[in-house]
Amino acid sequence: MPSPTPPPPDDALFMRRALDLALLGQGHTRPNPLVGCVVVGPGGTIIGEGYHQRHGGPHAEVNALASVLQPELLRQSRVFVTLEPCAHHGKTPPCADLLIAQGVPEVIVCNDDPNPLVAGKGLGKLRAAGIRVSTGLLASEGRWLNRRFFTFMEQQRPYLVLKWAESADGFMAGPHFQQVQISGPQAQLLTHQWRSEEAGILVGTRTALHDNPRLNVREWTGEQPTRLLIDKNLSLPPSHHVLDRSQPTIVYTHRERPSQPNLTYVTLPFAAPGQPPAPDLLPAILADLHQRQVQSVLVEGGPTVLGALLHLNLWDEIRVFRSPKRLERGIAAPRLGLRGWQSHEKVGPDDLFRYLNH
């Protein structure tokens, strides 16, 4: 059986440009996906481009078509878009209708949209109007770009990134959870960038109690994540940063407490004192976050939260900073070993290992 004919190199180049444009919206479009669009004129040159810049704002196709200086060329142009054009009225009109109205003869799509409001409807509308439509160009790259969106839609839960720092001898805190600065300044800066890229950031009671983290973006520009705290007995003192109401915060507990502005209490069943955590606790939290449209979560918790997620195989990425420092004793980090890591890089004095859950 002959191998499929690869796409013309220019087509892949145009789609890759659209993917690069889409990435510019990272951290600003959630819970919408990242989308880029390129308009190629009759001479094979780019005559317009755009991307979805912010949730509630114009979609990529709208921005790209609006950038074309000679709109009459649209009837002879090809449009490359990273995700199936929408066919429903949301915060903006359907992009499929716009492409039809402008007389675009051909649309090349990277990924079909898994959102039930869109899935197949946009492509069907374009084809019914006589527009040539093809899909799947650089599809794997498109899925990686929108891995948060695809996981959220297909698995009905947020995309989960587990992150921690550990010493060279495998500890993530000092004895009795004593706070120790393990990673270097470059790793801390990168962590703030990661926080700006995810919709939520999760810790457990011990991490919030002993580290008193702010869980916000300070050393990077971007939107603040929703802070997520598991505190079953509401034992965290109100003076701690995570309860200061400076940004949206959700506390998961088994006690009743009225919510306040920027501080929401969600009551869930927990195991009895001295018993292991209820096996359905974390899935219940993830289901609640899905309902709240929290599309991705950076987990910066301690060994209890991290270990539970690993045990349930509820994770998509793991990012581990390994410091050259040694602590000799303390709280052990989760044991993964180095087998199976997908990438390794130096971040200042630290080693960063990344794992993907296939």
Residues serving a catalytic function are 61
Amino acid identity, residue 49? E
Is 300 marked as a binding-site residue? yes
Is 59 marked as a binding-site residue? Answer: yes
With b for 16 or more beta-carbon neighbours within 10 A and e for fewer, the 143-174 pattern comes to eebbebbbbbbeeebbbbbbbbbbbeeebbbb
226 is known to lie in a ligand binding site: no
Residue 197 contacts residue 27 (beta carbons within 8 Å): yes
Asked if residue 86 belongs to a known ligand binding site, the reply is: yes
Binding site annotation covers 9?
no
Six token digits for residue 12 = 């892949």
Burial class (CB in 10 A: 0-12, 13-18, 19+), 225: buried
Find out whether 244 is annotated in a ligand binding site: no
Instruction: Say if residue 66 carries a ligand binding annotation.
Output: no
According to the annotation, is 328 in a ligand binding site? no
110 is in an annotated binding site: no
95 annotated as ligand-binding: yes
3-state secondary structure of 320: strand
Residue in this structure with the two tokens 């979609």, named with its chain if needed = 59
Per-position DSSP letters for 166-190, written without gaps between them: E-TTSEEE-GGG-----S-HHHHHH
The residues near 249 (Cβ < 8 Å, ≥ 6 apart) are 226, 227, 228, 229, 242, 243, 262, 263, 264
Q: How far apart are CA 302 and CA 109, in angstroms?
A: 42
Residue 207 is assigned to a ligand binding site: yes
* Phi-psi group of 101: left, alpha or beta (phi > 0 → left; psi -120 to 50 → alpha; rest → beta): alpha
> 240: annotated binding-site residue?
no
Q: Is 73 annotated as a binding residue?
A: no
Known binding residue 37? Answer is no
303 is an annotated ligand-binding site residue: yes
Q: What angle do CA 19, 198, 159 make, to 5 degrees?
A: 85
Strands 171-173 and 331-332: antiparallel
- Annotated binding residue at 103? no
249 is in an annotated binding site: no
Cα separation, 353 vs 344, in Å, equals: 5
Specify the amino acid at residue 113: D
Output the known binding site for Zn(2+).
Answer: 59, 86, 95
Output the known binding site for NADP(+).
Answer: 165, 195, 207, 211, 302-308
Output the known binding site for substrate.
Answer: 215, 218, 300
Output the known binding site.
Answer: 59, 86, 95, 165, 195, 207, 211, 215, 218, 300, 302-308
